[in-house]
Amino acid sequence: MNHLFVCSILFIAPLAGAIFALLVKQKDDANFKLILSFSGAFLFSIMMLHLLPEIFQTHGVKAGLFMLIGFFIQVFLEQATHGIEHGHIHHHSESNTFLISLFIGLSIHSFFDGIPAALPHTGEQERSTLLYGIALHKIPEGFALASIFLFSKYTKTKTLIIVLLFSLIAPAGALVSSFIQETDSSYYPLLLAIVAGSLLHVSTTILFESESGKHAYTFKKILVIIFGVALSLLTL
């Protein structure tokens, strides 16, 4: 896969989610929760099958320390984003201060998302699987970001411009990732471990939280989770 293809997929995914938010009734987000559960299950599974083996094969136990760092970086980022990465959409108007904080926090997380899109040592199939898993994760992000700005009385045009800017962040992460690999790849696996820790936090939160914030599962959610895991197994 070339850089243009990777960046195009990462750019289109959140934009597609945002366009869906612009077209549907904003408070009817039941289907959004199911899409989120599917993307969380698929992302978690491909991390277990492809990303983590790559990291630990290179750096062993040391990688675990950097995964912990990434995990807690995401914990701190969620103080700014209030968890919209894993489906916490606020159905009311927010202040501009909150919206700026949200955009910055989510952009940092999105930059991290772009880093694993171009793994240097995996095969073409594994690399594609990671890219599509991350892209699936970006669709609900775009939906949630657009929804919050629309609830905050932003026009559809302004909201779309904001999402267009946001959609550039993950491709930027992928390009920086490629640059690091080409110049000095010795510490790239440790950076990847930090990203994996962040993605691990997001994907597990998606899986374990229900709409009420409790650890409960509906029948539909169980089905989409099973489907997401099953689809990831086809990439082996």
Reduced to 3 states (helix: H, G, I; strand: E, B; else coil), residue 218 is coil
Check if the beta carbon of residue 162 is closer than 8 Å to that of residue 104: no
Per-residue pLDDT tens listing for the chain (236 residues): 678 889 999 999 999 999 988 887 655 566 777 888 888 899 899 888 888 887 888 777 888 999 999 999 999 998 888 777 766 676 667 788 889 999 999 999 999 999 987 665 455 566 677 888 889 889 888 988 998 899 888 999 999 999 999 999 999 999 998 888 888 777 788 888 999 999 999 888 888 765 554 555 678 888 999 999 998 888 77
Check if the beta carbon of residue 40 is closer than 8 Å to that of residue 86: yes
Pair of tokens at residue 34: 């199911």
Looking at residue 178, its pLDDT comes to 87
pTM of the model: 0.86
In angstroms, the Cα distances linking 173 to 88, 168, 185 are 24, 9, 15
Q: How far apart are CA 68 and CA 45, in angstroms?
A: 19
CA 86 to chain CA centroid, nearest Å: 9
